[in-house]
Amino acid sequence: MLLTHRWSSLCFYFCLSSDNPSAFFSFFPLFEVFRSLSEMTDEKSRVQVSIRIRPLLKIDKNDKPIVHPLDETSLSLSDDKKAPKSYQFDHVLCGDQQSVYETIGRPMLEEAYKGFNVCLFAYGQTGSGKTYSLLGDISDEEKQGVAPRFVQELFDEAQRRVDEDTDLTIKVSLSMIEVYMEKVRDLLAPRQRGQEPEALEIHEDSNRRVYVKDASVHQVLGSERTMQLLRKGNANRQTAETKMNETSSRSHAIVQIAVTQEFATLEKKDLECTISLVDLAGSERQTKTESSGQHFEEAKKINHSLLMLGRALNSFSERKGNADSFISLRESKLTRLLSESFGGNSKTWMLATVSPTAYNAYETISTLDYASNAKAITNKARINKSVRDLEYKDLVRLRAHLETCLARENTLVVDNTQRCEVLSKELDQLLGELEVCRSDFTIENELENALVEREMLLMELRTALENSVVGNEDEPLICFSGMIKVAVGSVPMDTIVPITAVVPVFDFVGPPPLLRCTIRVTEPVADCLAVVVEVLELFHLPDFCSGGARVSLWFEGQESSRVYSHFVAPNAGNPQFSLSQSFLFDSAGEKVRNFLSKETLMVCVEGALGIV
Contacts of 41 (CB under 8 A, 6+ apart): 2, 382, 392
Q: Is 470's pLDDT higher than 70?
A: no
Q: What is the pLDDT of residue 469?
A: 47
Q: Is 480 helix (H, G, I), strand (E, B) or coil?
A: strand
Q: Is 270's pLDDT higher than 70?
A: yes
Strand 48-53 versus strand 91-93 pairing type: parallel
Contacts of 491 (CB under 8 A, 6+ apart): 497, 519, 520, 521
φ, ψ of residue 569 in degrees (nearest 5)? -60, 150
**Strand segments (E) across 522-590:** 528-539, 548-555, 558-564, 576-586
Sequence ranges of the domains in the chain: 49-241+249-284+303-385, 387-437, 478-608
Mean pLDDT lowest among 222-226, 392-396, 536-540: 392-396
Binding positions are: 124-131
**DSSP assignment letter at 557:** T
Burial of 451 (0-12, 13-18, 19+ CB in 10 A): middle
The backbone region for 368, taken as left when phi is positive above 0, alpha when psi lies in -120 to 50, beta otherwise, is: alpha
Is 283:302 a contact under the CB 8 Å cutoff?
Answer: yes
Segment 157-167 mean pLDDT: 94
Segment 224-240 mean pLDDT: 86
Tens digits of per-residue pLDDT, 317-366?
Answer: 665 545 555 456 677 788 888 888 877 888 999 999 999 998 888 889 98
Q: Dihedral of CA 486/491/494/495: which sign?
A: negative
Dihedral angle over CA of 328, 330, 332, 336, nearest 10: 100
Binding positions for ATP are: 124-131
What is the pLDDT confidence band of residue 10, given thresholds at 50, 70 and 90?
very low
Kindly state the helix (H) or strand (E) to which residue 77 belongs, with its residue range: strand 74-77
Q: What is the pLDDT of residue 464?
A: 63
Segment 296-314 mean pLDDT: 75
Length of the chain, in residues? 612
Tens digits of per-residue pLDDT, 47-99?
Answer: 999 999 998 887 777 788 899 999 999 999 987 777 889 999 999 999 999 99
Q: Which fold has domain 478-608?
A: Immunoglobulin-like (2.60.40)
Is 543:537 a contact under the CB 8 Å cutoff?
Answer: no
Neighbours of 562 (CB within 10 A): 12
φ, ψ of residue 230 in degrees (nearest 5)? -65, -40
Q: Is 217's pLDDT higher than 90?
A: yes
Nearest to 497 by CA among 506, 488, 505: 488
Contacts of 2 (CB under 8 A, 6+ apart): 41
Segment 7-14 mean pLDDT: 34
Write the CATH number of the domain with boundaries 49-241+249-284+303-385: 3.40.850.10
Q: Is 24's pLDDT higher than 90?
A: no
